[in-house]
């Protein structure tokens, strides 16, 4: 497809599903690993690449938590945020809502003020690069109600600048969404938006639970919705966006390939799909690359890529003025004639 990468790069983009620790570039992870070799993360580039070759979702989580253990102070947090911002700026991404898991960092011994300071200075650096960052504080679901309570307390007590949403991550199997209902109810009452993961590694019932029990306004992943026509209809009718991460789903073994990903079925049913990277260096993904991959594998036109970019703007928690500015930028992009890459 001639010109597809250049077109995808030129699109002003929004990222709605990226984890801060998972955004660490390979050089950053190597630097941290060499500083703290006892964490067990490889200090050799080739070995680290093998370390990031995941057998399944459980194996991925093991690697993810090992990298999390490398992050100990405000300087590490700043390095992660600034690195992510530089990567996003290089891809013409204007705005991102970044998932941070405070409980894991606090559990590893990082003082709360260190975490907040690193987020604040990193966010300021991002602004200098032309990228606006917002935060989602999420619960590591496998750690249970204690993690839910402490994440909620930390979020509402500290309420850092840019905090817009409350999430739920980690494994889904055996970690029912409904058990976190009290924490999401209080977060929503305090003005935070509900954006739990659901349907990444389990079936449609998890997505229904996220909607009914957690008041989800967006769904993280939602991959399995394609197996339930009633759910597809519900998501489309109520304009509930999905934060779809195709390469992530392939790399963790949830789908065999981009071509087999249900994103085409979602779009055909009128679901609001947004494209995202999840944990980009760990999966060898980029935001521009996600647009290219789905266009090539699923035969999307340039106009469909534009609509995906617009979906991300519309699904974001930006105010209407800033959404309008981004939409205006997107509409100024010149489409290939006749709007495809053939």
**Distance from C-alpha of 34 to C-alpha of 43, rounded to nearest angstrom:** 5
Helix-helix angle 181-189:204-214, to 10 degrees: 50
Q: Which helix (H) or strand (E) holds 15?
A: strand 13-19
Strand 193-194 to 197-198 pairing: unpaired
Measured at the CA of 146, the angle between CA 144 and CA 148, to 5 degrees, comes to: 75
How far is Cα of residue 269 from the mean position of the Cα atoms in its chain? 23
CA 65 to CA 193: how far, in whole Å? Answer: 25
Task: Verify whether residue 200 is a known catalytic residue.
Answer: yes
Residue 273's closest CA among 241, 301, 226?
A: 241
321 CB-contact burial (10 Å; exposed 0-12 / middle 13-18 / buried 19+): exposed
List all residues 6 or more positions away from 295 whose beta carbon is below 8 Å from its beta carbon.
1, 4, 8, 301, 304, 305, 341
187's enclosing H/E stretch is: helix 181-189
Backbone angles phi, psi at 97, to 5 degrees: -105, 110
Query: Could you give the C-alpha distances from 135 to 32, 140, 277, 318, in angstroms and in order?
Result: 23, 15, 16, 12
Give the Cα separation of 38 and 50 in Å (integer).
18
Catalytic-labelled residue, pool 15, 97, 172, 200: 200
Query: Where is 17: in which H helix or E strand?
Result: strand 13-19
Catalytic residues: 200
């Amino acid at each position: 497809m001639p010109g597809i990468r250049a077109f995808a790069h030129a699109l002003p983009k929004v990222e709605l599903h990226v984890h801060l620790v998972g955004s660490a570039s390979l050089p950053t992870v190597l630097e941290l690993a060499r500083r703290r070799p006892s964490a067990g993360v490889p200090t050799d580039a080739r070995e680290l690449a093998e370390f990031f070759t995941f057998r399944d979702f459980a194996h991925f989580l093991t690697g993810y938590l090992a990298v999390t253990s490398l992050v100990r102070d405000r300087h590490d947090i700043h390095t992660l945020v600034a690195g992510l911002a530089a990567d996003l700026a290089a891809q013409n991404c204007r705005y991102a809502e970044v998932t941070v898991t405070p409980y894991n960092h606090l559990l590893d011994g990082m003082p709360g003020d260190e975490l907040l300071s690193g987020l604040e200075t990193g966010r300021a650096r991002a602004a200098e690069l032309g990228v606006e960052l917002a935060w989602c504080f999420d619960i590591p679901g496998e750690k249970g109600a204690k993690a839910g309570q402490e994440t909620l307390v930390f979020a509402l007590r500290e309420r850092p600048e840019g905090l817009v949403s409350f999430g739920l991550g980690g494994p889904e199997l055996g970690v029912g969404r409904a058990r976190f209902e009290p924490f999401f109810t209080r977060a929503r009452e305090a003005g935070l938006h509900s954006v739990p993961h659901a349907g990444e590694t389990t079936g449609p019932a998890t997505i229904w639970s996220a909607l009914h029990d957690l008041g989800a306004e967006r769904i993280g992943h939602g991959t399995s919705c394609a197996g339930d026509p009633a759910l597809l209809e519900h998501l489309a009718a109520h304009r509930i966006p999905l934060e779809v991460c195709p390469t992530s789903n392939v790399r963790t073994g949830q789908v065999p390939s981009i071509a087999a990903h249900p994103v085409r079925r979602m779009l055909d049913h009128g679901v609001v799909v947004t494209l995202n990277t999840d944990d980009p260096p760990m999966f060898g993904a980029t935001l521009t690359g996600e647009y290219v991959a789905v266009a090539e594998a699923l035969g999307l036109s340039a106009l469909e890529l534009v609509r995906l970019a617009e979906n991300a703007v519309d699904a974001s928690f930006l105010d209407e003025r800033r959404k309008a500015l981004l939409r205006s930028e997107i509409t100024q992009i010149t489409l290939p004639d006749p709007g495809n890459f053939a």
